[in-house]
Amino acid sequence: MRIRPRRLQPGDTIGIVAPSSPPVQENLERSLAFLEQLGLKWKLGRHVYNVHGYLAGMDDERLEDLEGMFADPSISGIICARGGYGSARYTDRLDLQLIRDNPKVFWGYSDITFLHTAIGQYSNLVTFHGPMLESCVAKDTFHELSAAMFRQLFEPMELHYTDDISSLNALAGGSAQGEIVGGNLSLLADTIGTKFEIDTKGKLLLIEDIGEEPYRVDSMLNQLRMAGKLTDAAGIVIGDFSDAEPKKERRTLSLDEVFHHYLGDLGKPVVEGFKIGHCEPHFAIPLGVEGRLDADQKTLTILPGVE
């Protein structure tokens, strides 16, 4: 069983880091009022506003901020400013024992998927796949349900997703129970062949992505198929795949055709339509806890992520 971080309390201090791409300062500052509404204080990583091309500073600087927040006893949880690209560039140097010895809330998604996978498998810590500050909270489109999902950090709560939240479609029936792993499909494919290769055996695999045309989703699912990750999984949770339309007119398969080809005949439950990912609302979930996917009833139940 993975380590569940301590629940947050009003008055706790949240560490804010930019593990990947640089946030827009004005937008990040706008999002801080939300943390204050939650009763939280905040502390910015020293290098949050650094810029090195498409990266939020040099690799060493982003690594220093992330490790520093885990090591700092005054920090009760860590929320990422945004995703983008770059977390995998230093993950092989990340002190995963430090994180294991200092378990605390770690929250983000998208490019942060690579960190979720590494921390889950080597630090044995439950982490949270949820909307980030600059890229989500600061926007006018930030949904009240997305905001409400932060409540799970303050008290242990079982999450229940039904088609009352969004229209769900079962590609394959049945039910399965297992630890929930995964996140952004591109980053999951990037783990294959590395020390941080995603482990899906007996687990519920979550996939989501943005801006990937059907042929790209096809390629990444094929990579997972050939690596045995789809057959190993107990069930598949398909989150949001936004902006997936072909960029120019050409012969193509639809995204649904791609999903049915790779996931429809696995002999295990597969459900699509979850508002998890680059979308509003964004239903935030803990990774590394037990969940139950029932494709016949079209429900997903997830155990609490904090203690």
Task: Please tell me which residue in 67, 134, 208, 272 is annotated as part of the active site.
Answer: 208
Take residue 31 and report the two structure tokens written for it.
């999002």
- Under DSSP, the state recorded for 134 is I
Q: Which of 110, 123, 135, 186 is catalytic?
A: 110
Q: Which amino acid is at 273?
A: G
Long-range contact pairs involving 219-222 (C-beta distance under 8 Å, separation at least 24): 220/185, 220/186, 220/188, 220/189, 221/185, 221/258, 221/259, 221/262, 221/263, 222/262
Residue 208 annotated to the active site: yes
Catalytic residue at 158? no
Q: What token pair was written down for 68?
A: 């520093």
Question: What does the block give as tokens for 214?
Answer: 């059907």
Question: Phi/psi at 257 (nearest 5 deg)?
Answer: -65, -40
Q: Which amino acid is at 54?
A: Y
- Catalytic site residue from 47, 129, 278, 282: 278
Distance CA 182, CA 116 (A): 8
Backbone angles phi, psi at 35, to 5 degrees: -60, -40
Residue 282: active-site member: no
Tokens of 228: 């045995």
Find out whether 186 and 278 touch, Cβ atoms under 8 Å: no
Distance CA 147, CA 137 (A): 8
What are the residue numbers of the active site? 110, 208, 278
